[in-house]
């Protein structure tokens, strides 16, 4: 009997010790250049994978009803389960103590399934929208932050072991005086170019303002059944013409924004509609018109902030990386919200140019 228990104890100890020994083995280096690594990252959108991701954010964004989901994503810790077949076929489950919210991408539609309320909302995919859970994934976030990166902004970092992978590192230091971002660090699965870990640092920060890490990784195509939403009996399914307030504003608001604001051009180079995305890489500005019923409570929240500033351009708050400015009521109700990782001076300049243009 004692011998049998000895075998059990030795086996259990082995199961615990072996993974620790594997994790502590030296991380292998890589000779890949920073530029080539960045190019592989940008080409990784079609790499199929599944796994578990943990994100942590301290970014301060509006916590009004229209932006509640955004505040949770960027200002809190999130556990995400992922199945990624490609840019048009994926599923991301955001897991919380009270349940989960699942986001599906099925060709031209997105489905948001809320476990607690047993409700599913189907919306057409829009290129103009606020960030969602898929934008917190290391591959998606890294591709956005490295967008239009210049050669002189890139440098290699030592490799780290992430999700059991020896991942070479990459640092981007934005050469942009308008930016509140000090640097972006990315660790990448070298052969596929799939980013596994991203850290975003503000100027003067010793800890990342936003980080996202793959804890468990399986490369390969997930079954199509995992990324398709099938409504069960009793589920309340609704259809919404717009996925969020930004998509709705771009579709229905009677505005055409300029191609540049505050010295920042549009991210894609195309003329914007009623909603504009400006800057490149981690230096980002979004401008969107808000209806009176959305703008009024948000303006009051901003004014009640200890960091609030009032000027002819509007009410602004800058905390850490993120700056927010809501223009005055222009007599038609509502106002324009400007938000991004830009300095207060750039935010003020952009708002002033916008008001003159309108």
Segment 269-303, tens digit of pLDDT: 888 989 999 999 999 999 999 988 889 989 998 99
Segment 77-121, tens digit of pLDDT: 999 999 999 999 999 999 988 789 999 999 899 999 998 889 999
Give 28: exposed, middle or buried? Use CB within 10 Å, 0-12, 13-18, 19+. exposed
pLDDT tops 70 at residue 340: yes
Residue with the bigger pLDDT between 355 and 333: it is 355
Could you tell me the strand order of the sheet in which 322-326 lies? 276-280, 283-290, 335-340, 322-326, 314-319, 309-311
Residue 18 domain-assigned (yes or no): no
Do 60 and 168 fall within a single domain?
yes
| Cβ pair 206, 54 in contact under 8 A | no
| Cβ pair 337, 290 in contact under 8 A | yes
Do 149 and 187 fall within a single domain?
yes
Final residue in a domain of this structure, among 178, 210, 227: 227
Do 159 and 271 fall within a single domain?
no
| Cβ pair 198, 185 in contact under 8 A | yes
Q: Which residues contact 260 (CB under 8 A, 6 or more apart)?
A: 266, 278
Residue 241 domain-assigned (yes or no): no
Segment 44-85, tens digit of pLDDT: 999 999 999 999 999 877 667 677 678 888 889 999 999 999
Do 182 and 47 fall within a single domain?
yes
Strand partners of residue 21: none
Q: Where are the beta strands (DSSP E) in the chain?
A: 49-57, 77-86, 89-96, 99-106, 109-114, 119-124, 154-162, 165-172, 181-189, 194-202, 210-219, 236-239, 260-261, 264-265, 276-280, 283-290, 309-311, 314-319, 322-326, 335-340
Q: Both tokens of residue 5? A: 């228990």
Rounded percentage of the chain residues whose pLDDT exceeds 70: 90
Closest listed residue to residue 326, CA positions, set 341, 343, 310, 342? 310
Final residue in a domain of this structure, among 227, 242, 276: 227
Residue 1 domain-assigned (yes or no): no
Instruction: Please compute the mean of the pLDDT values over residues 193-204 and round it to a whole number.
Output: 97
Final residue in a domain of this structure, among 209, 227, 245: 227
Do 103 and 138 fall within a single domain?
yes
Residue 3 domain-assigned (yes or no): no
Range of the domain at 268: 253-357
Do 198 and 267 fall within a single domain?
no
Residue 244 domain-assigned (yes or no): no
* pLDDT tier at 23, thresholds 50, 70, 90: low
Residue 24 domain-assigned (yes or no): no
Do 89 and 167 fall within a single domain?
yes
Do 60 and 112 fall within a single domain?
yes
Do 174 and 272 fall within a single domain?
no
Instruction: Report the CATH number that the domain containing residue 288 is assigned in CATH.
Output: 3.30.310
Residue 125 domain-assigned (yes or no): yes
Question: What's the pTM value of the predicted model, to 2 decimals?
Answer: 0.89
Do 88 and 179 fall within a single domain?
yes
Instruction: Report the CATH number that the domain containing residue 86 is assigned in CATH.
Output: 2.50.20.10
Q: Both tokens of residue 115? A: 């476990």
pLDDT tops 90 at residue 323: yes
**Count of structural domains, the chain:** 2
Do 97 and 180 fall within a single domain?
yes
Cα distance from N-terminal residue to C-terminal residue, the chain: 86
Do 94 and 160 fall within a single domain?
yes
Residue 130 domain-assigned (yes or no): yes
């Amino acid at each position: 009997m004692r011998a049998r228990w000895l075998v059990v104890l030795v086996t259990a100890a082995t199961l615990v010790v072996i993974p620790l020994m594997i994790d502590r083995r030296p991380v292998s280096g890589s000779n890949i250049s920073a530029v080539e690594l960045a190019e592989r990252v940008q080409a990784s959108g079609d790499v199929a994978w599944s796994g578990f991701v943990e994100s942590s954010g301290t970014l301060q964004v509006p916590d009004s009803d229209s932006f509640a989901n955004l505040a949770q994503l960027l200002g809190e810790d999130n556990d995400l389960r992922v199945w990624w077949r490609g840019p048009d076929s994926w599923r991301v489950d955001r897991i919380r103590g009270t349940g989960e919210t699942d986001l599906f991408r099925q060709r031209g539609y997105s489905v948001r399934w809320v476990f607690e309320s047993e409700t599913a909302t189907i919306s057409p995919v829009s290129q103009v929208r606020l960030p969602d859970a898929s934008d917190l994934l290391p591959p998606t976030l890294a591709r956005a932050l490295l967008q239009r990166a210049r050669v002189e902004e890139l440098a290699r970092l030592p490799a780290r072991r992430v999700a059991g992978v020896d991942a070479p590192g990459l640092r981007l230091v934005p050469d942009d005086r308008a930016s509140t971002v000090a640097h972006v660090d990315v660790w990448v699965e070298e052969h596929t170019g799939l980013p596994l870990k991203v850290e975003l640092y503000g100027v003067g920060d010793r800890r990342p303002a936003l980080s996202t890490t793959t804890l468990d990784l399986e490369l390969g195509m997930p079954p199509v059944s995992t990324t398709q939403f099938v409504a069960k009996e009793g589920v309340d399914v609704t259809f919404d013409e717009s996925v969020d307030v930004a998509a709705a504003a771009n579709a229905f608001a009677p505005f055409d924004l300029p191609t540049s604001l505050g010295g920042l051009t549009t991210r894609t180079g195309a003329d914007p509609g009623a909603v504009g995305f400006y800057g490149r890489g981690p230096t980002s500005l979004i401008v969107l018109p808000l209806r009176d019923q959305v703008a009024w409570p948000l303006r009051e929240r901003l004014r009640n902030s200890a960091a609030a500033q009032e000027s002819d351009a509007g009410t602004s708050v800058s905390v850490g990386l993120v700056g927010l400015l809501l223009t005055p009521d222009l007599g038609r109700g509502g106002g324009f919200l400007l938000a991004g990782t830009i300095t207060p001076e750039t935010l003020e300049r952009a708002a002033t140019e916008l008001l003159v243009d309108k």
